[in-house]
Amino acid sequence: MLAIIASATVLGVEGCQVSVEVHVASGLPAFTIVGLPDTACREARDRVRAALGSSGVTWPSRRVTVNLAPSGVRKNGAGLDLAVAVGVLVAEGVIPAEAVAATGFVGELGLDGSVRRVPGMVPLVAALAGTSVVVPAGCAAEAKLIGRHHVREVGNLAELMAALKGESPWPEPRADDVALLACDEPDLADVRGHSMARLALEVAAAGGHHLLMVGPPGAGKTMLARRLPGLLPDLAPDAALEATTVHSAAGLSLPPTGLVLRPPLRAPHHGSSAVALVGGGTAYMRPGEISLASQGVLFLDELAEFPRSVLDALRQPLEEGVVRVCRARAAVAYPARFLLVGAMNPCPCGEGGPPGACRCSDATRIRYGRRISGPLLDRFDLRIEVTRAHPADLLAGVPGEASAVVAARVVVARCRAAARGVSCNAELSGRRLEREGRLSAGAAAMLEGGLRSGSLSARGLQRVRRVARTLADLAGREGTLGEEDVCLALQLRAEPARLGAAA
Ligand SMILES: [Zn+2]
């Protein structure tokens, strides 16, 4: 007999509906799975057979063939286990076929018959066309985010069989075991001093400008970077669903609300591989750190310690807002619209700055600076020096301005950008920038001086104008950009030579 059960697999961050066709026929006992399964998926044979055995079902001593359609799509992971088991039960007549009509099944099976969580519940359920879906215990909250299905969760096969046969009611959804993500964001009020860095964070949040901080260890670069997401507004509904889908596809736990509503912060270590950062992988394609940081902040501490090849892999996503990963088996596109914050020491010894403090030779310092390629350095609209806070500031006991106060100004500035048809000023380009970034005579003269002396490049000029636009927006100044905006924008974009690093 033939049974067809709906399930789904994840490709990139998108789900793809899979029909699990189970055929049980007389012949020599065998169990085969066809239709491009990967290794984990092929091992479903052993898990399904053991799980059914543990649940009191005798394995058919006939020929069982499972086809995963469409056959052109590679099936990942163990999420199809449950559908295969249900297919065998229906084909064997243990469960009536009507009981599983218009119902999708997603979950991995344990050898004891338990039904286990798989990564990507949100995209998996989104791909299912039916009206009902059965998911592992603890996954109902994620599955309900899609909102189209009647969601039921089961802890093991025995429960599922009893419910499908109508012998007992469906189990009540359990208390969600989704781990609590840290939702208390650190506050800027904890930061003493650092007036320039605070301004840079505010401008980065308001205008979506990438930020590079250069300074000695212990100056507070990490502390500052971790406070940037707290200045960003809540995610809009479509951005929230996108961020949630990416987190779900990566198998990360979701916040108790189900949706990722706050801009995420990802801070991968400099030892991370290009695949961990950009996404991909051979066995199981998963989104990388830059996609998990999409709609939020990607913080790269010790920027100069990242391998050059890894940093170069960032350039295309920074330009396009998506990252395309091609592997032998599939090509997928992951979202990658993140705010990049880099932090680095001025030189290998970390001290940089005045002669005497730094113990590095000139040659060492130059070599260190060259680890960041020109094109990547150019992406940072904001480049500031972060020095250790002044002892008087640390002891004064006056708390800094709170994140909520700064975030309110950021929202106003972003509204001004939205009125121009962009989500933030960093996206202003070409004709829009010409119109929105007109310069007063004094401001133009100031920039001309920079261009003539060579301290400002043509591309740098455009970036300075965007930052100046954001500064004016934050201050509530409309119209042409004045000298004060341009002067401050230039200060926020220290030339690499001045930062000591790329001397
Ligand atoms: Zn040094």
Per-residue pLDDT tens for 6-43? 999 888 778 889 999 999 999 898 999 988 788 777 88
Report the pLDDT value the prediction gives residue 83, as an integer from 0 to 100. Answer: 95
Q: How much is the mean pLDDT over the chain?
A: 86
**Whole-angstrom distance, CA of residue 112 vs CA of residue 116:** 11
Neighbours of 346 (CB within 10 A): 26
Report the pLDDT value the prediction gives residue 380, as an integer from 0 to 100. Answer: 92
Residue 178 has pLDDT above 70, yes or no: no
**Rounded distance from Cα 303 to ligand 1 centre (Å):** 16
**Whole-angstrom distance, CA of residue 422 vs CA of residue 427:** 6
**Rounded distance from Cα 392 to ligand 1 centre (Å):** 26
**Rounded distance from Cα 491 to ligand 1 centre (Å):** 23
pTM of the predicted structure, to 2 decimals? 0.75
Report the pLDDT value the prediction gives residue 356, as an integer from 0 to 100. Answer: 65
Mean pLDDT within 437-441: 91
**Rounded distance from Cα 460 to ligand 1 centre (Å):** 28
**Rounded distance from Cα 216 to ligand 1 centre (Å):** 9
Give ion ligand 1 contacts, CB < 5 A: 347, 349, 358, 360
**Rounded distance from Cα 464 to ligand 1 centre (Å):** 29
Spell out the long-range contacts of 355-364 with Cβ–Cβ below 8 A and sequence spacing 24 or more: 362/503
Mean pLDDT within 339-357: 82
Buried b (16+ CB within 10 A) or exposed e, 23-52: bbeeeeeebebebbbbebbeebbebbbbbb
**Rounded distance from Cα 369 to ligand 1 centre (Å):** 11
**Rounded distance from Cα 273 to ligand 1 centre (Å):** 27
**Rounded distance from Cα 299 to ligand 1 centre (Å):** 23
The H-or-E segment that residue 433 falls in is helix 430-436
**Rounded distance from Cα 270 to ligand 1 centre (Å):** 20
* Tokens 């989704």, located at residue: 178
Tokens of 191: 């930061």
